[in-house]
Amino acid sequence: MTTQGYGTIEPELDELSISSFSHVRLPRFAPLLVLLGALALSGLLALLLGWGPVAIPVVAVILTIIALPLWSAVVENRRAAVDRLVTCLVWTALAITLVPLVWVLEKTIAEGIPAISWHFLTNDMRQGLDPVTFKMVAGGGLKHALLGTLLVTLGAVVISVPIGLMTAIYLVEYARGSWIGRTITILVDVMTGIPSIVAGLFAVALFSTITGNPGIRFGLMGSIALSLLMIPTVVRGAEEMMRLVPSDLREAAYALGVPKWRTILKVVLPTAFGGIVTGVVLAISRVVGETAPLLVAVGTVDYVNGNLFSGRMMTLPVYIMQEYNGTVDDRKFAWGAALILIAIVMILNLVARIIGKIFAPQTGR
């Protein structure tokens, strides 16, 4: 190749080897091979030294974290070895995180499935008529706790969603950069860290002061206690989703003469709808398993009470605690209720992901 004023540049491309642009790589099955070798070695050491079964995978992971990067450093290069080391550490952290989750699920499923039955789901703890056999049977169900959880949580949603959503709208659309907006944000962050039992004590103190009866307990008190825990989550989730709405959409609406309130209602909220609903569902799944505020504010009963405004109610978390502290026979009811509660939380999280995926704004052109 010739250039004017700079002489002739003639790179001899045929003398450049392809290997100068690449290097030797370990085979794809190298991590699996190292892991199997580490398991074999740790198993041999366990037999010789009398280790327990838990030590075998632990030692195998440690040997893999050491051996795989060393092999990569010898065959590949330093950068590849560092990459292998970090990858091993990340997978190890994931495995450590999954161990308690898998153990809890396995234990709950194994203990809870034998307790699940039609009688368990359709009866409370009092003696009553079995709808299948039409005979009087003893209690041993969680119908009252399941219904109480649904009603108390629904009441919390009715209180929390409007307050949280309107607070987020004010922070994003009206109080951005102002001192009052920063103050509200700080207070919301403080509410996020409030212990759950404090929310229950607040509900008890509030209604004791209003009614003059220190011993008053009913379902709405639990809803208010849970709403104190839900509101910060709803506010932060809705606020972040609304901030992601492009300013161009607002400015286009203003340019057409659309008032601010209508722009929020017709442009901002529909665009952020998927994220807002996802945040609300996640807030529900966060409070549905709370025990302390419901034990303090709602109390316990052994029968169905469908009135949020009168009388104590039973909820699933309190039911689990009460039955687990009972006899050995009562503990099977606690495991069954725990399995139902975990299923509810998992379903809520799946619903949140599905809603977020369906209503996510389309970014493609």
Q: Name the residue ranges covered by the structural domains of the chain.
A: 21-113, 136-358
CA torsion sign for 134, 136, 137, 141 is positive
Q: Tens digits of per-residue pLDDT, 274-312? A: 888 888 888 898 888 888 899 899 988 888 888 888 888
Token pair 């996020």 in the structure block, residue: 192
pLDDT tens-digit map of 244-269: 888 888 888 888 888 988 999 888 98
Single-letter residue type at 249: L
pLDDT digits (tens, 9 = 90+) for 80-112: 889 999 999 999 999 999 989 899 999 999 998
Average pLDDT over residues 114-124: 84
- With a cut of 60, say whether residue 162 has pLDDT above it: yes
What is the C-alpha separation between 338 and 317, in angstroms, rounded? 8
N-terminal to C-terminal alpha carbon distance within the chain: 43
* pLDDT tens-digit readout, 126-154: 755 555 555 545 567 888 889 999 999 99
Give the C-alpha separation, 252 to 219, whole Å. 46
Helix 328-358 / helix 273-287 crossing angle, nearest 10 deg:
170
Report yes or no: 159 and 283 within 8 Å, Cβ to Cβ.
no
Residue 76 amino acid letter: E
299: left (phi over 0), alpha (psi -120 to 50) or beta: left
| Greater model confidence, 13 or 67 | 67
- The whole-number average pLDDT for the span 164-170 is 93
What rounded mean pLDDT belongs to the chain? 84
State both tokens at 236.
């932060």
Contact between 189 and 285 (Cβ < 8 Å): no
> Hey, which residues does 128 pair with through a beta bridge?
137
Half-sphere exposure of 30 (CA within 13 A, CB side): 16
Residue type, 294: L
CA distances from 196 to 215, 223, 234, 363 (A): 20, 13, 16, 39
* Residue appearing with tokens 């994003």: 172
Q: What is the mean pLDDT of residues 192-219?
A: 89
Q: How far is CA 331 from CA 40, 91, 279, 304, in A?
A: 41, 36, 34, 21
- Please give the CATH topology (third level) of the domain spanning 136-358: MetI-like fold (1.10.3720)
The pLDDT of residue 121 is above 60: yes
Which tokens in the block code for residue 31?
């991590």
